[in-house]
Amino acid sequence: GQSLEQPSEVTAVEGAIVQINCTYQTSGFYGLSWYQQHDGGAPTFLSYNALDGLEETGRFSSFLSRSDSYGYLLLQELQMKDSASYFCAAILDSNYQLIWGAGTKLIIKP
Amino acid sequence: KAGVTQTPRYLIKTRGQQVTLSCSPISGHRSVSWYQQTPGQGLQFLFEYFSETQRNKGNFPGRFSGRQFSNSRSEMNVSTLELGDSALYLCASSLDSGSALETQYFGPGTRLTVL
């Protein structure tokens, strides 16, 4: 089967750095996307990686290692508004369909 | 540019009934995907429509169906509702330029409660 594993919950302090990991097991992997969803809101796109390495977008960075079937989302200078659920989603190369992880709830403490 | 809209936002039905949910994609977007979201389960892919044709389908029973109209608006239908169908149903649209890394834009969802 195809699956993605990510921690169900992560807690961090405002101003700190947090890393949310995602391991995947899929056939025909093309790339990894990350989405943010606030409570009661719709998921919004954050970043994607098609190649190994780090992609940086402001305070958010995403990393991919194809050989390890692993990626992570790095959030720096955490703000209270970053409290949300974060989803990794694998893009399949056969039909570009997204396979989603169950999400990581990020709790930020002042 | 207006975002993805979904109607209704909330719906309460009883077991055995059927329901139709509607999604209007961002203007110019040709691909519409539907997802079911339940607590702790992430997003489960239902199906994707492009040019009025179902292009991809997830592992859901035949009670779940959908369609897309010529203006790219899409509907999904669930027949013979079960308690387990209670969930947030999300619609996402994308431009479908052919890129694998195309961003999906989500609507606010329809929260369906089955009693």
Write down the pLDDT at residue B56.
85
Contact assessment for residue B71 and residue B83, using Cβ atoms and an 8 Å cutoff: no
pLDDT at B16: 97
Could you tell me if A91 lies within 8 Å of chain B, comparing CB atoms?
yes
Give contacts of B40 with chain A, Cβ < 8 Å: 8, 102
Inspect the interface and report whether the beta carbons of A43 and B106 lie closer than 8 Å. yes
Cβ distance B100 to A93 less than 8 Å, yes or no, reads yes
Residue with tokens 């998921």: A43
> What is the band of A97 on the pLDDT scale with cuts at 50, 70, 90?
confident
Residue numbers of A between 1 and 20 with CB closer than 8 Å to B: 8
Q: Tell me if B83 sits within 8 A of B15, measured CB to CB.
A: yes
Segment B30-44 shows an average pLDDT of: 88
What is the least distance, in Å, from the CA of A90 to any CA of chain B?
A: 10
Question: Locate tokens 């999604």: which residue?
Answer: B23
**Residue-averaged pLDDT of chain A:** 93
Check whether B101 has a pLDDT greater than 80. Answer: no
Mean pLDDT of chain B, nearest integer: 92
**Residue range B91-96: average pLDDT?**
88
Amino acid making up residue A78 = L
Give the pLDDT confidence score for residue B41 in this predicted structure. Answer: 74
Contact B43 A30 (CB under 8 A): no
